[in-house]
């Protein structure tokens, strides 16, 4: 049986980010995923927002890693050829109490080092967000917010990690884990794995993985978010990411620009018990519509083309990223809800540092392939140029999705 230096459980954006970061070093790494594809857990319903760091308190891991991740994701997107668009974020105020809250958020974000923040007045809102509710009096503008495709990011991270030697095992569910003779023995549906170090990035199931090693001091509570997608003809509905003031458990119902061009509206925030419940409801969608129309009254339910729900792995107010002293070599990376996507590259660096601090030798490879060639997408090129592209690679001529013009080559 092969012994890996590090085994990572969970191949969403956190697990693939950690795998790619560790692939810089002379290590044997296994990335284990229970689903048949990557990003089939929490990451599959991610909104794709790269947050600036305006809604997490100073002193928290969320705040620090969000700001760091916002910077790192730009470098990574260039290296991997993933489109990142800086579109800016706007948190909207409607009365004097809201304004006081905006000023508090601005002050906290400045402590974290979020750049370019400013309070914009009603005149600015009318000019830059013409569809916004006319009752809005001002907003907190953060220019460094952006959007990215979370699914492309996960797959490109994984592809690059594999190029640098990482082994990925999908359709491989962890059944139990034993700590024996300085090794972790990971019994899975695909057989037995052995590793010197183990990283738990299992999303909604991180508490169950942790419990297999006797660490039960946190629980993951699924927090359901229902959302809907509008037709691309409404792409100009908003020019920025538009937020209401956040609550204690959620950033609220947002108007989201996406990397694919369709506006996304949502999500709700409902704590549930079932970690597999991705159902939508009329009540949930109606709540989203009512909240979204407070921001942009012209949103029309006739423009909705799809509904979906996702689950966030809620566990307390902050991320759980730590080495477990009672189980040497075991790193929990759990409770990674928003702003987890933004923070993912910073979480990966932090995890590598924790591993190093606890005895894992990190010797850099002489050759690390940091870059991948950007995928050419048919919908992004002129129709007159598609013929020559298909001649070079016939897979571009096999159209899998005619509505979005996606070819077999791109998949």
Residues annotated catalytic, as ranges = 51
Nearest CA to 80 out of 201, 198, 163 is that of 163
Give the list of residues 6+ apart from residue 54 with CB closer than 8 angstroms, or none. 89, 91, 105, 106, 109, 114, 117, 140, 142
Q: Cα dihedral sign for 369, 33, 182, 333?
A: positive
Helix (H) or strand (E) segment spanning residue 284: helix 282-295
Count of residues in the chain:
411
Neighbouring residues of 32: CB distance < 8 A, sequence distance ≥ 6: 7, 8, 9, 10, 11, 169, 172, 174, 186, 188, 193
Q: CA 290 to CA 221: how far, in whole Å?
A: 26
Tell me which H or E stretch contains 19. helix 13-22
Is the dihedral angle over the CA atoms 189, 190, 193, 197 positive or is it negative? negative
Residue with tokens 């920025």: 240
Residue pair 89/54 in contact by the 8 Å Cβ criterion? yes
Specify which residues 304 forms β-bridges with: 230
Q: Are 278 and 267 in contact (CB under 8 A)?
A: no
Rounded to 10 degrees, what is the CA torsion of 18, 21, 24, 27?
-10
Angle at 346 between CA 345 and CA 350, to 5 degrees: 120
């Amino acid at each position: 049986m092969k012994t890996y230096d590090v085994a990572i459980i969970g191949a969403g954006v956190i697990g693939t980010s950690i795998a790619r970061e560790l692939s810089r070093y002379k290590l044997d790494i296994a990335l284990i995923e229970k689903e048949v594809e990557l990003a089939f857990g929490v990451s599959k319903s991610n909104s794709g927002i790269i947050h600036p760091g305006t809604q997490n308190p100073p002193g928290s891991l969320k705040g620090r890693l969000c700001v760091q991740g916002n910077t790192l994701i730009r470098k990574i997107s260039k290296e991997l050829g993933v489109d990142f668009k800086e579109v800016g974020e706007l948190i909207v105020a409607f009365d004097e109490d809201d304004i006081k809250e905006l000023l508090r958020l601005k002050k906290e974000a400045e402590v974290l080092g979020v750049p370019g923040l400013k309070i914009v007045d009603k005149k600015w809102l009318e000019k830059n967000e013409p569809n916004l509710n006319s009752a809005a009096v001002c907003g907190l503008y953060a220019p460094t917010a952006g959007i990215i495709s979370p699914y492309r990011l996960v797959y490109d991270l994984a592809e690059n990690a594999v190029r640098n030697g990482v082994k990925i095992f999908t359709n491989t569910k962890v059944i139990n884990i034993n700590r024996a003779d300085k090794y972790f023995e990971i019994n899975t549906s695909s057989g037995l794995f052995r590793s010197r170090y183990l990283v738990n990035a299992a999303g909604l199931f991180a508490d169950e993985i942790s419990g297999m090693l006797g660490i039960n001091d946190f629980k993951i509570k699924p927090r359901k978010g229902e959302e809907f997608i509008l037709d691309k003809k409404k792409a100009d509905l908003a020019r920025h990411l538009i937020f209401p003031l956040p609550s204690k458990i959620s950033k609220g119902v947002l108007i989201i620009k996406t990397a694919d061009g369709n506006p996304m509206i949502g999500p709700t925030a409902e704590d549930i018990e079932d970690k597999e419940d991705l159902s939508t409801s009329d009540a949930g969608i109606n709540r989203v519509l009512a909240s979204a129309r407070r921001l942009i009254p012209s949103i029309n339910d006739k423009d909705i083309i799809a509904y979906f729900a996702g689950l966030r792995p809620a566990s307390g107010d902050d991320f759980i990223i730590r080495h477990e002293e009672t189980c040497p070599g075991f790193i929990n990376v759990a409770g990674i809800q928003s702003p987890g996507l933004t923070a993912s590259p910073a979480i990966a660096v932090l995890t590598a540092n924790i591993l190093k601090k606890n005895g894992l030798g990190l010797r850099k490879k002489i050759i690390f392939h940091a870059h991948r060639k950007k995928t050419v997408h048919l919908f992004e090129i002129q129709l007159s140029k598609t013929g020559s592209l298909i001649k070079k690679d016939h897979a571009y001529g096999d159209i899998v999705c005619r509505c979005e013009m996606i070819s077999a080559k791109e998949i």
